[in-house]
Structure 1
Amino acid sequence: MQDPEHDQRSIEQIRKSRNRVLALSLAAFVILVFFISLAKMG
């Protein structure tokens, strides 16, 4: 049986990596929209 502190640490790592992936995909979406709007103006 694992100790709860180890489980808590792995949960924190999973949450951190998920937040990083979410932030990167959101930033990529914003950049994509920005370039699409530039292309439509040009």
Structure 2
Amino acid sequence: MAIKVEHELHKRRLGRNIGLGLVLVGFVALVFGLTVVKVERGDFSANPPRAEGGE
């Protein structure tokens, strides 16, 4: 069997997949970082504060 040369379409698809993977990793890192900061600051509470205003 002869070794086939990779088609140009596969190279472009690989580039897009790598780009999308990096974007997803960045998003996960952002959410994780925000969660860590929120936990360290103690912003979690069972009852979130209500907005002040006339009802």
> TM-score normalised to the size of structure 2?
0.60
Structure 1 residues not aligned, in runs of 5+: 1-5
| Structure number with higher relative contact order (C-alpha < 8 Å, ≥ 6 residues apart) | 2
1:30 & 1:22 partners in 2: Cα distance? 12
Q: CA RMSD in A?
A: 1.6
2:35 aligned to 13, 17, 37, which one?
37
Q: Which has the larger radius of gyration?
A: 2
Which portions of structure 1, spanning 4 or more consecutive aligned residues, are displaced by more than 3 angstroms?
Answer: none
**Number of residue pairs matched by the alignment:** 36
Percent identity (aligned): 33
Structure 2 residues not aligned, in runs of 5+: 41-55
Q: Deviations over 1:1-42 (max 9, x none)?
A: xxxxx8x71100000000000001000100100000000011
